[in-house]
Chain A
């Protein structure tokens, strides 16, 4: 399954979740990510963590409902990885129970155009 997006600019690729290039560009330099814990429940369309940039603190919504099985600890030391490589800088990996309303790459590109 290829990458898909929430309207609120989060991506789902396989079991991994991150934020889109558009989101990181709008946020500006990201300085902190408050990671959830392995075992936490996440709900589609609901916030599961916050990213803080020099401009603002923003909530990150989960594209899926499920349980967190891994968190990207590397973001603790290098939150700027989200700015430089938004599609490699996953935030959590989820054991998926169900998916939210997801957009294809083409539909998402139309949304942000």
Chain B
């Protein structure tokens, strides 16, 4: 398929501009020496180009999308209708607050709701996405220790099953990372944790349920060990989808959390943004929060400053708020219960052909370890994933968490029906039979897509990152 640049013919344009009725003027400071190399294309060719691209896209509106840990939730259409309301759509953050009372009320209520869901005292809606929220939360923890003159606390403890963003965010804040290993049940190894903690521990970053989709039953002991050592506990909200309305990070002993509105509260994931990653904290961290804070005001005399312009990505926050208000507290709880039920139903169905990394009742997601397929039938997690595409579904997360070598991480989310899950299991059964059949070769999959098996190695070693005119 041709790029939009390759379809360019000099003189064509997709829009007719009215004749200019102002004198022309050349900016003295303009530094561009040559014309921008933009595509010149007619309206119909432009429309066809993007329609063709649109047909090749796969999203949650097209079919099953079990990308574990990412929570590819269905985006309710009501969210979009609310965002398009004129009063929300046509406002500007520098407008007089007297004219934007509605948006302020939404943000105030959203903060309160998120406090109630997480068990925190305050929430800032500023961070632009999950990892940005982690960074903001780590800064709060750093500020807390600094303000107490406790300057030797330089280490953040992170489990070996953690999201890669955890050590990255802590490192960005200048912390050193210490890894705590997992026990046989997939949770934090308590003995190892006790060995690691000490007077240099600034805190712990933890996802619960963790990236294996397992709830850590020792969570109260874990947070107590950290607190007894003088550290603080940070909750990565990536998997909050599994526990809404049933238990709260604040009650587990966490001091600070971030949430992903695009995961837990049904805003679209988009093409890398915009996102929203609100951060909640307990009272003792409130005075370090970024400003401005809307609604209930803590004293922020030691604010870490702004982490995002204005109050965050409002339209994303509004989508999450619509979701929360549509479901209500009982609905949110039911969403989590159904997410867990769906994951367990699919897990049991798939266990007829595949092995789970850890054989336990899971929460909202589970991890298969297809090492036996890799070793016995030379079919890797990658081959199985690519073959799933041929059956019209998106593959699960592969090769994560890192502690499972041939990992396939399924998260069906709460909106999938029993029929869909059974169809998925049937397809996975067919793939299993094909993998075990030496006559059948899955290494070439996918074969039904416009582009077949991508050469990932070449793409990583010799990336072409921008249009190169021939």
Q: Do A and B bind each other?
A: yes
A75 to chain B, nearest CB (A): 12
- Residues of A near B461 (CB, < 8 A) are 31-32, 79-80
The number of chain A residues with a CB under 8 A from chain B is 12
CB under 8 Å from chain A, chain B span 452-470 = 456-457, 460-461
A56-B399 in contact (CB<8A): yes
A31 to B460, CA, bound (A): 6
- Residues of B near A31 (CB, < 8 A) are 457, 460-461
Nearest chain B residue, comparing its CB with the CB of A83:
B457
B457-A56 in contact (CB<8A): no
A16 to B429, CA, bound (A): 48
The answer, yes or no, to whether A41 is at the interface (CB within 8 Å) is no
The answer, yes or no, to whether B164 is at the interface (CB within 8 Å) is yes
- Residues of A near B456 (CB, < 8 A) are 29, 54
- Residues of B near A58 (CB, < 8 A) are 402
The answer, yes or no, to whether B287 is at the interface (CB within 8 Å) is no
B155 to chain A, nearest CB (A): 13
B263 to chain A, nearest CB (A): 21
The answer, yes or no, to whether B333 is at the interface (CB within 8 Å) is no
- Residues of A near B402 (CB, < 8 A) are 56, 58
A44 to chain B, nearest CB (A): 16
- Residues of A near B400 (CB, < 8 A) are 56
The answer, yes or no, to whether A2 is at the interface (CB within 8 Å) is no
The answer, yes or no, to whether A26 is at the interface (CB within 8 Å) is yes
Nearest chain A residue, comparing its CB with the CB of B463:
A31
B399-A55 in contact (CB<8A): yes
The answer, yes or no, to whether B405 is at the interface (CB within 8 Å) is yes
Total inter-chain residue pairs, C-beta < 8 Å: 23
Instruction: Determine the interface band of chain B, counting residues with CB < 8 A from chain A.
Output: 10 to 19
A26-B457 in contact (CB<8A): no
Nearest chain B residue, comparing its CB with the CB of A57:
B164
- Residues of B near A56 (CB, < 8 A) are 399-400, 402
B217 to chain A, nearest CB (A): 28
Interface string of B375-419 (1 = CB under 8 A from A): 000000000000000000000001110100100000000000000
Nearest chain B residue, comparing its CB with the CB of A46:
B176
Interface string of A26-64 (1 = CB under 8 A from B): 100101100000000000000000001011111000000
A58 to B402, CA, bound (A): 9
A29 to B405, CA, bound (A): 14
- Among A31, A32, A57, max chain B CB count under 10 A is at A31
Interface string of B94-128 (1 = CB under 8 A from A): 00000000000000000000000000000000000
A26 to chain B, nearest CB (A): 6
A26 to B405, CA, bound (A): 7
- Residues of A near B399 (CB, < 8 A) are 55-56
A79 to B458, CA, bound (A): 12
A113 to chain B, nearest CB (A): 14
A54-B164 in contact (CB<8A): no
With contacts A55-B399, A56-B399, A56-B402 known, is A29 near B164, CB below 8 A?
no
Nearest chain B residue, comparing its CB with the CB of A52:
B460
- Residues of B near A79 (CB, < 8 A) are 461
B66 to chain A, nearest CB (A): 19
B460-A32 in contact (CB<8A): yes
Nearest chain A residue, comparing its CB with the CB of B457:
A29
Nearest chain A residue, comparing its CB with the CB of B380:
A28
A56 to B405, CA, bound (A): 11
A57 to B164, CA, bound (A): 9
A54-B405 in contact (CB<8A): no
- Residues of B near A54 (CB, < 8 A) are 456-457, 460
A55 to B398, CA, bound (A): 8
Q: Which residues of B contact A (CB under 8 A)?
A: 164, 398-400, 402, 405, 456-457, 460-461
18 A-B pairs with C-beta separation under 8 A: A26-B405, A29-B457, A29-B460, A31-B457, A31-B460, A31-B461, A32-B460, A54-B456, A54-B457, A54-B460, A55-B398, A56-B399, A56-B400, A56-B402, A57-B164, A58-B402, A79-B461, A80-B457
18 new A-B pairs (CB below 8 Å) besides A31-B461, A57-B164?
Answer: A26-B405, A29-B456, A29-B460, A31-B457, A31-B460, A32-B461, A52-B460, A54-B456, A54-B457, A54-B460, A55-B398, A55-B399, A56-B400, A56-B402, A58-B402, A79-B461, A80-B457, A80-B461
Closest 4 CB pairs of A and B: A31-B460, A55-B399, A29-B457, A54-B456
